[in-house]
Amino acid sequence: MRDKKRDELLEIYRLLRNRFGHRNWWPADSSFEVIIGAILTQNVAWNNASKAIDGLKRANMLEPLALNERAAEEIAPLIKPSRFYNMKAMKIKNFMDFYYREYGGDLSVMSAESPAVLRKKLLAVKGLGQETADCILLYACGMPIFVVDAYTKRILQRYGIFKKEPSYEEAQRYFTENLPRDIELYNDFHAQIVQLGNCVCKTRPLCGSCPIAAVNGSKCRFTITTVHRSE
């Protein structure tokens, strides 16, 4: 059947959704907070990023105008829990410069760009890579862009869809070419994958050294029905 890949992906999503319920992403009070959160959560547990967000909020810094006026040195101490805080303060700074220079600090103006153009512009901001840019496009701008992370690539490999871990582009292409162009599906699918990564068994089901979710010749089901929730 021509829709075999599509059905397989939808089956993975169904398993996850059935296990975890709708994830209702992105966890934030505003779209602007999504953008800052996307930077702060780079290579760190969400718990840490969340603390950094609280730090900004307590200083009344999680607003475009306030954040735009502050130097990176003033932002850094507020986001220490997010790890790599000096780098991330500079990344936030770089984004704010771009945000005001190009769009006057107005998200609706930025969101009026075409997804392809905006993606390219975001990637030109130092500190925003593909995953961060795509998180902004999908979760802040509501654009139909599938977000790939380390877990996503591992799923494709451990399911045997790819023999080795695919590149970001390969993984993204696989999802967007085989799934219906459905923003809500893109939204929750990625959230489900992250939730799976946060589950605890012996080790995390999708962590690099997980013995349970390793390829075993047949299709890996991640022991979805047997892993425990981390929450």
Partner DNA sequence: ACCCAGGGCGTTG
Partner DNA sequence: CAACGCCATGGG
Residues within the interface to DNA (CB under 7 A): 25-27, 37-38, 41-48, 51, 80-87, 126-133, 135, 139, 149-151, 167, 194, 197-198, 200, 203-204, 206-209
**Shortest distance (Å) from residue 200 CB to DNA:** 6
Rounded-to-integer distance, Cα 176 and Cα 20, Å:
23
**Shortest distance (Å) from residue 197 CB to DNA:** 5
The H or E element that residue 171 is part of is helix 168-178
Is the CB of 161 or the CB of 207 nearer to DNA?
A: 207
Q: Residue 167 is encoded by which pair of tokens? A: 């590149």
Contact present, 145 and 44 (Cβ < 8 Å): no
Contact present, 91 and 44 (Cβ < 8 Å): no
Is the CB of 48 or the CB of 111 nearer to DNA?
A: 48
**Shortest distance (Å) from residue 70 CB to DNA:** 17
Rounded-to-integer distance, Cα 110 and Cα 116, Å:
12
Is the CB of 151 or the CB of 159 nearer to DNA?
A: 151
Q: Count CB-CB contacts under 10 A for residue 138.
A: 23
**Shortest distance (Å) from residue 66 CB to DNA:** 22
**Shortest distance (Å) from residue 101 CB to DNA:** 17
**Shortest distance (Å) from residue 3 CB to DNA:** 29
Residue 86, CB-side half-sphere exposure with 13 Å CA sphere: 0
The H or E element that residue 151 is part of is helix 150-158
Rg (the chain; Cα; Å) = 18
Is the CB of 208 or the CB of 217 nearer to DNA?
A: 208
Is the CB of 167 or the CB of 216 nearer to DNA?
A: 167
> How many residues are present in the chain?
231
**Shortest distance (Å) from residue 1 CB to DNA:** 31
Q: What's the distance, CA 15 to chain centroid?
A: 20
Contact present, 220 and 160 (Cβ < 8 Å): yes
Is the CB of 6 or the CB of 13 nearer to DNA?
A: 13
Is the CB of 45 or the CB of 109 nearer to DNA?
A: 45
| Sequence-separated (6 or more) residues with CB below 8 Å from residue 29 | none
